[in-house]
């Protein structure tokens, strides 16, 4: 299993880069000026830049997939204390730092709009909600600090559900597994579209329950692959089968982007509509070694994948900095992209990893666990440890 995680870790870099480009390209390059992808028919540049956040649903499905391989085993429950400690140590430190760095911009805006007293109070309220990852439940008023962090709130919701939901889904096999997957996908999409009518698109796209079925499908994909390995010893597939599925999945994603204007509504894929395509993509990269998976296993690619979580969180505060100083020319865009990448790599190496290990040691000491428990909590291997779950 360890080596199969490497290409999936590397792919995270490309998915995070799409989110970065979505938020930044219109600032630096006038050609990407479309405001709404579903209204940009014929504007290829606008459609591309505004459709890039489809990768967020990919993160959610991959999160369920990776967590299942690490923590779920037949006949065993999830050790909740170690699980929550590992997730907190991995996700929260950098999130908190970005929260601190992005708050001054919020404070300046709130004070300008409401005055010093009310501005301070509103900033404190938003900051407190963000600290406990609750801002996504009322995004219009509370989701004003580092907007991409809404997906961390969704991930926190997944973590709360996983010890129970994951164990239940891991018991399934055969027809039950496939029927559950079908019901989860159809039922999840029905819930999404019903909530879009009732609550509006702006509220629906970020609410954690609307993404839970995508996360659960990732769990079931991991379960199905595990059962296949147990039954046959090794997957009975050939490289051309895998490559065909991979390119069909890539083609499906590209086709879906081209079709965005025909939906006549914003963000049609934001809540897991493309989950079957993402599942096929993950399967093709993990079922057996191929030319593409080997390429993604290169050390420099895995290093970029390790930095993807930082890239996802860091790019927005840096973008605000460039906008503040009006460094928004095409040349500055190259500087911006290079700076985001460099800081993300440094963050993973010199901040996230040391802080994570230090926190896990503290948690291990408190629970009087030995070094073997620490190894298990950190994900057994560096490849699992580096698999960040948005």
pLDDT digits (tens, 9 = 90+) for 3-26: 557 899 999 999 999 999 988 988
**Exposure of 22 in the CB half-sphere (CA atoms within 13 A):** 21
Mean pLDDT, range 357-376, rounded to an integer: 70
Mean pLDDT, range 129-139, rounded to an integer: 92
Query: For residue 390, is it within any domain?
Result: no
Statement: residue 377 has pLDDT above 90: no
Query: For residue 302, is it within any domain?
Result: yes
Within 115-173, where are the H helices? Answer: 116-131, 139-142, 150-170
Query: For residue 202, is it within any domain?
Result: yes
Identity of the highest mean pLDDT range in 48-62, 65-79, 212-226, 230-244? 212-226
pLDDT digits (tens, 9 = 90+) for 44-82: 666 666 666 778 899 999 999 999 989 998 778 899 999
| Whole-number Cα distances in Å, 316 to 148, 337, 361 | 8, 11, 31
Statement: residue 241 has pLDDT above 70: yes
Statement: residue 390 has pLDDT above 50: no
d(CA 79, CA 83): 6
Assign 378 to helix, strand or coil. coil
Range of the domain at 108: 2-385
Statement: residue 376 has pLDDT above 50: no
Q: What is the pLDDT of residue 380?
A: 36
Q: What is the pLDDT of residue 198?
A: 84
What band does 122 get if pLDDT is binned at 50, 70 and 90? very high
d(CA 345, CA 350): 9
Please measure the distance between the N-terminal and C-terminal CA atoms of the chain and give it in whole angstroms. 21
**pTM as predicted:** 0.88
What band does 94 get if pLDDT is binned at 50, 70 and 90? very high
Mean pLDDT, range 227-243, rounded to an integer: 78
Q: What is the pLDDT of residue 387?
A: 41
Q: What is the pLDDT of residue 100?
A: 93
Looking at per-residue confidence, does 338 or 234 come out higher?
338
Question: 303: exposed, middle or buried (C-beta count within 10 Å: 0-12, 13-18, 19+)?
Answer: middle
Mean pLDDT, range 113-128, rounded to an integer: 93
**DSSP per-residue string spanning 188-216:** HHHHHHHHHHHH-HHHHTT-GGGGHHHHH
Nearest to 195, CA basis, from 203, 184, 183: 203
Q: What is the pLDDT of residue 40?
A: 55
pLDDT digits (tens, 9 = 90+) for 264-283: 777 888 899 999 999 999 99
Query: For residue 309, is it within any domain?
Result: yes
Average pLDDT, the chain: 86
pLDDT digits (tens, 9 = 90+) for 76-91: 889 999 999 999 999 9
Query: For residue 90, is it within any domain?
Result: yes
Query: For residue 282, is it within any domain?
Result: yes
Q: What is the pLDDT of residue 385?
A: 36
Domain count, the chain: 1
Mean pLDDT, range 226-253, rounded to an integer: 84
């Amino acid at each position: 299993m360890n080596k199969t995680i490497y290409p999936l870790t590397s792919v995270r870099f490309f998915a995070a880069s799409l989110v970065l480009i979505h938020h930044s390209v219109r600032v630096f390059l006038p050609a990407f000026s479309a405001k709404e992808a579903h209204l940009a028919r014929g504007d290829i540049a606008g459609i591309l830049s505004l459709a890039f956040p489809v990768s967020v649903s990919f993160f959610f499905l991959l999160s369920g997939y990776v967590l299942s391989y690490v923590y779920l085993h037949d006949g065993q429950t999830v050790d909740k204390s170690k699980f929550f400690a590992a997730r907190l140590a991995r996700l929260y430190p950098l999130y908190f730092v970005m929260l601190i760095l992005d708050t001054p911009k919020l404070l300046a805006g709130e004070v300008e709009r409401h005055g010093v007293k009310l501005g301070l109070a509103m900033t404190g309220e938003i900051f407190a909600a963000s600290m406990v990852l609750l801002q996504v439940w009322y995004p219009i008023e509370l989701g004003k600090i580092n907007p991409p962090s809404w997906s961390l709130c969704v991930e926190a919701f997944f973590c709360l559900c996983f010890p129970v939901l994951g164990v239940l889904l891991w018991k399934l096999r055969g027809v039950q597994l496939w029927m559950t997957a079908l019901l989860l996908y159809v039922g999840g999409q029905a819930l999404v579209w019903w909530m879009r009518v009732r609550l509006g698109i702006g509220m629906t796209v970020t609410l954690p329950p609307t993404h839970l079925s995508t996360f659960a499908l990732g769990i079931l994909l991991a379960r199905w692959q595990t059962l296949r390995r147990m039954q046959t010893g090794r997957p009975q597939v050939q490289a051309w089968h895998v490559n065909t599925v991979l390119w069909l999945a890539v083609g499906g994603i590209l086709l879906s982007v081209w079709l965005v204007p025909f939906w006549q509504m914003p963000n049609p894929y934001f809540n897991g509509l493309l989950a079957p395509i993402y599942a096929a993509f993950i399967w093709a990269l993990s079922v057996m070694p191929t030319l593409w998976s080997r390429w993604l296993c290169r050390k420099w690619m895995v290093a970029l994948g390790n930095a993807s979580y930082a890239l996802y969180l860091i790019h927005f505060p840096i973008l605000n900095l460039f906008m503040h100083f009006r460094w928004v020319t095409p040349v500055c865009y190259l500087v911006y992209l290079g700076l985001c990448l460099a800081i993300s790599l440094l963050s993973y190496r010199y901040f996230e990893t040391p802080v994570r290990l230090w926190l896990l040691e503290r948690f291990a000491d408190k629970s009087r666990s030995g070094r073997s428990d620490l190894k298990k909590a950190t994900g057994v291997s560096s490849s699992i440890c580096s698999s960040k779950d948005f």
